[in-house]
Amino acid sequence: MTSTDKLKGLLFLPRAQRESPEVVSAIRQIVAEDPEAMHFFVRWSHFEASLLWYVNEFGTDRNVVVTHVRKEVRQDRLIRFLVMAASAVLVVMIGFQVCIFTIRYSVSPLQVHPIVGRIAEVDGVIWPESRQGTQTLVRQGDRFFSRQGRFVVHMDSGALVACSGPVEMQVMNSMQLRLHDGAICIQVPERARGFEVQAKDWSIVDLGTIFGIRTSRNGSSEVHVMKGLVQARSDVVGQQEIIAGQGAGLAANGQITGLFTTDPGPFTAQLASLAGVAGSSKNLVVLNNPPRSVKFNGHVLRDQACLFREQEQPLPANSEIMIFRASPGIYSSKNLPERTTIPSGTMLTTYLLHAQNSGSGPVSGHVTFDGVIAGLALSSPDLNLTDAHFGHPDVLYPASTDPHFSGAVRGTLVQESTDFIEISPDLKTLRFKLSCATAIKAFDQIRIFVLPPRN
Amino acid sequence: MVLNQADAEDLLQDVGVTIWEKLDEYDSSRDFTAWACGIARNKVLSFNQLASHRLVQSSDLLDRLHAVVSSDVKVHEHQHQFLLGCISRLSETERQLLQLRYAQESSLKEIARDTGRSIHALYKSLQRVHLKLFECVSRRLNRWGEG
């Protein structure tokens, strides 16, 4: 505020106030100190003197003034009333909206952020955001950022998203997610056909498959199809189909940089997660796709064993099975595990551990599952009996009628004194040492029955 | 030079009487206006020094004010003329309010009491009329200055 403004304020005061010593002193000080204010003061004094000169010539009609003031009072009251009424209406409207929102949120929170999946098989994950550490339900729009470790998102649509290592992604809905950084593997059942992964300017649409996609922050991506078919879409190239065994480089500008043979290497951990395997030793190969045959000479490895997932289904009614119980401990031909009966209705996932070694020594290693091991089929009769129900439909298994199988011992421990297995205290890890050297046909197999993971 | 209308009227009367009394001492070879202003100056100074609530306490401030008044004589003359034109553009009610402000302040208090409106609010109304007039006069003065 300038000195002139201050002076104006003082000169406009009611006469009694304006002539008080304090106000006069303030006016004097302003006028003495500021030449501009002094000019204004002189002009105002003349203005007021002139005004006085003129107004004394007017007649006074008190009624006119009273009427005017009353009118102003009415106007003021009306304005005040309108402002208060408007404020009240506004407060009521806001309150109403808050109530509606609160009711909607409390009655139907799913409409705000529908749950579209859950997180399971969490192993060694470091979440930078503590909220995610305790979160098991996945809501629409949730963003996940893990520095390390692995976890699997079970989408309500049926799709499984296996994540390992540093990953940043956002779940858009049960059929769509956006990958910002890292590598993930997706397994899509038939009912979730059309599941979409967005990466930068690309959209990868599943057509019934298992595929991996990795994206870096610079915008480039790679998609590797392990099984089935996907469609890569961008505004630049339109649609490009990528089949099983094929991979494609996807540039940030929407161009395809090249097609190549699938390399499952970067997705090993994610693929194992999809199979329900938490970890394994180097000399145990976890197969993404089952071998065509596990007959003698059907799948031969050197100094290695292999493991593949066969089935996940409940034991049918009236069809209890008797196998070896999985209890913590070390077992051999002289110390076999106890026999146990698994009741019908039990949900089981089966894996076949197969070792036909072309090398000279035994094959040893370990495998850890996400679920608890319920039992083992260790003997040839147990394996033969459970092939039909728990075997993979696309795999050829040895059978007693098979001429190549004659005289061979398919299982382990039983009749094989040099083999041994160990089950960990948490019942999740199986260690093995298989000689693969008994009788004429030197191969060993174990069918592992695993209960679903608790989380 | 003074803020109170009654004081101004007293002073004017006092200056007139003094000029009349000292007219014999006036040297006709000198400027009469300057002689009369000198008398008025001394009167204002002695009048204001009598009470601390009066505006001009020092001869220095009085001289500076006098210098400003003298330099803007033409402006003040035009301001006086323009004011009449601006007043004619006011409504009757606004003119009545001004009249009450300058001639019958007691009536203003009565009106405030009769209408239930505070004296402060009435002064606000008056302030608006004052500003309206002052801005009208200032605009006309600016146009005159530019012309």
Full DSSP string of B45-80: HHHHHT-TTSS--SHHHHHHHHHHHHHTHHHHHHHH
Phi, psi (rounded to 5 degrees) for A350: -110, 145
Among A46, A75, A76, the residue to mutate for chain B (most B Cβ within 10 A): A46
Q: Which tops the pLDDT comparison, A329 or B123?
A: A329
Say if residue B105 is in the same domain as residue B56.
Answer: no
How many other C-beta atoms lie within 10 A of the C-beta of residue B117?
A: 18
- Chain B, residues 24-53, CB within 8 A of chain A, namely 52-53
**Alpha carbon separation from B16 to A205, B21, B28, B123 (Å, rounded):** 106, 9, 18, 35
**The last residue of a domain, from among B24, B41, B69:** B69
- B55/A contact by beta carbon, under 8 A: yes
Q: Which two tokens stand for residue A386?
A: 């459970």
Interval A156-169 mean pLDDT: 90
Among B11, B56, B61, B93, the residue to mutate for chain A (most A Cβ within 10 A): B93
Q: Which of B69, B83, B122 sits opposite A47 (nearest CB)?
A: B83
Instruction: Measure in Å the smallest separation between the Cα of A84 and chain B Cα atoms.
Output: 20
Instruction: Give, for A11, the enclosing helix (H) or strand (E).
Output: helix A3-11
In the predicted structure, residue A111 carries a pLDDT above the cut 80: no
Cβ-Cβ contacts under 8 Å, A27 against chain B? 3, 55
- Looking at residue A194, its pLDDT comes to 92
**The last residue of a domain, from among B25, B40, B69:** B69
Instruction: Name which of A238, A259, A280, A294 is nearest A370 in CA terms.
Output: A280
In the predicted structure, residue B2 carries a pLDDT above the cut 60: yes
Residue A196 C-alpha from the chain's centroid? 14
B84 within a domain of the structure (yes/no): no
- Looking at residue A183, its pLDDT comes to 92
**Alpha carbon separation from A116 to A112, A170, A455 (Å, rounded):** 12, 12, 16
B126 within a domain of the structure (yes/no): yes
* DSSP letter for each residue of A278-313: EEE-TTEEE-SS--SB-STTTS-BSS-EEEEEEEEE
- B98/A contact by beta carbon, under 8 A: yes
**Alpha carbon separation from A327 to A193, A376, A424 (Å, rounded):** 40, 10, 8
Q: Is A198 exposed, middle or buried (0-12, 13-18, 19+ CB in 10 A)?
A: buried
Q: Which two tokens stand for residue B56?
A: 């001009």
Would you call A65 and B79 a contact, using CB atoms and an 8 Å cutoff?
Answer: no
Q: Which tops the pLDDT comparison, B8 or A139?
A: A139
Average pLDDT score, chain A: 85
Q: Which of B61, B87, B117 sits opposite A69 (nearest CB)?
A: B117
- Looking at residue A81, its pLDDT comes to 94
Tokens 């693969």 map to which residue? Answer: A436
B62 within a domain of the structure (yes/no): yes
Q: How far apart are the C-alpha atoms of A338 and A377, rounded to whole Å?
A: 12
- Looking at residue A2, its pLDDT comes to 86
In the predicted structure, residue A398 carries a pLDDT above the cut 60: yes
Locate the chain A residue with the closest alpha carbon to B60: A32
Q: Which of B65, B75, B95 sits opposite A58 (nearest CB)?
A: B95
Which letter does DSSP use for residue A315 in this model?
Answer: P
Say if residue B21 is in the same domain as residue B61.
Answer: yes
Is residue A370 a contact partner of residue A448, using CB atoms and an 8 Å limit? no
Would you call B96 and A69 a contact, using CB atoms and an 8 Å cutoff?
Answer: no
Locate the chain A residue with the closest alpha carbon to B136: A47
ipTM value greater than 0.85: no
The answer to whether the pTM exceeds 0.90 is no
Question: Would you place residue A401 in the very low, low, confident or very high pLDDT band (cuts 50, 70, 90)?
Answer: low
pLDDT in tens, B46-79: 777 666 666 776 778 888 888 888 787 788 888 8
Instruction: Measure in Å the smallest separation between the Cα of A10 and chain B Cα atoms.
Output: 11
Say if residue B144 is in the same domain as residue B98.
Answer: yes
- B135/A contact by beta carbon, under 8 A: no
- Using alpha carbons only, give the angle B13, B19, B23 rounded to the nearest 5 degrees: 155
pLDDT in tens, A190-212: 889 999 999 888 899 988 789 99
* Residues of chain B above pLDDT 90, percent: 3
Instruction: Name which of A144, A190, A187 is nearest A167 in CA terms.
Output: A144
- Looking at residue A41, its pLDDT comes to 87
Instruction: Measure in Å the smallest separation between the Cα of A18 and chain B Cα atoms.
Output: 8
CATH code assigned at B110:
1.10.10.10
B130 within a domain of the structure (yes/no): yes
Q: How far apart are the C-alpha atoms of A186 and A178, rounded to whole Å?
A: 13
Q: How far apart are the C-alpha atoms of A340 and A326, rounded to whole Å?
A: 9
Would you call A19 and B4 a contact, using CB atoms and an 8 Å cutoff?
Answer: yes
B30 within a domain of the structure (yes/no): yes
B81 within a domain of the structure (yes/no): no
Say if residue B101 is in the same domain as residue B52.
Answer: no
Would you call B72 and A14 a contact, using CB atoms and an 8 Å cutoff?
Answer: no
Cβ-Cβ contacts under 8 Å, A18 against chain B? 3
List Cβ<8 Å contacts ≥24 apart for A34-39: A34/A3, A34/A4, A36/A2, A36/A3, A36/A4, A37/A3, A37/A4, A37/A6, A37/A7, A38/B64, A38/B65, A38/B68, A39/B68, A39/B72
In the predicted structure, residue B129 carries a pLDDT above the cut 80: yes
- Looking at residue A136, its pLDDT comes to 83
B10 within a domain of the structure (yes/no): yes
Would you call A47 and B79 a contact, using CB atoms and an 8 Å cutoff?
Answer: yes
Say if residue B22 is in the same domain as residue B60.
Answer: yes
Question: Would you place residue A84 in the very low, low, confident or very high pLDDT band (cuts 50, 70, 90)?
Answer: very high
How many other C-beta atoms lie within 10 A of the C-beta of residue A383?
A: 23
Would you call A72 and B117 a contact, using CB atoms and an 8 Å cutoff?
Answer: yes
Q: How many domains does chain B have?
A: 2
Say if residue B4 is in the same domain as residue B63.
Answer: yes
Instruction: Report all structural domains of chain A as residue ranges with CATH numbers, in order of start.
Output: 3-58 (no CATH), 115-268 (2.60.120.1440), 275-450 (no CATH)
Instruction: Measure in Å the smallest separation between the Cα of B19 and chain A Cα atoms.
Output: 23
Q: Which two tokens stand for residue A382?
A: 């147990």
Q: Which domain holds residue B106?
A: 89-147
B74 within a domain of the structure (yes/no): no
The answer to which of A294-303, A382-391, A445-454 has the lowest mean pLDDT is A294-303
Alpha carbons within 13 A on the beta-carbon side of A98? 6
Q: Which tops the pLDDT comparison, B101 or A303?
A: A303
Cβ-Cβ contacts under 8 Å, B96 against chain A? 58, 60-61, 64-65, 68
Q: How far apart are the C-alpha atoms of A241 and A228, rounded to whole Å?
A: 11
- Looking at residue B125, its pLDDT comes to 82
Q: How far apart are the C-alpha atoms of A300 and A379, rounded to whole Å?
A: 20
Instruction: Name which of A181, A197, A187, A199 is nearest A128 in CA terms.
Output: A181
Is residue A215 a contact partner of residue A204, using CB atoms and an 8 Å limit? no
**Alpha carbon separation from A165 to A152, A267, A442 (Å, rounded):** 12, 10, 39
**The last residue of a domain, from among B69, B101, B117:** B69
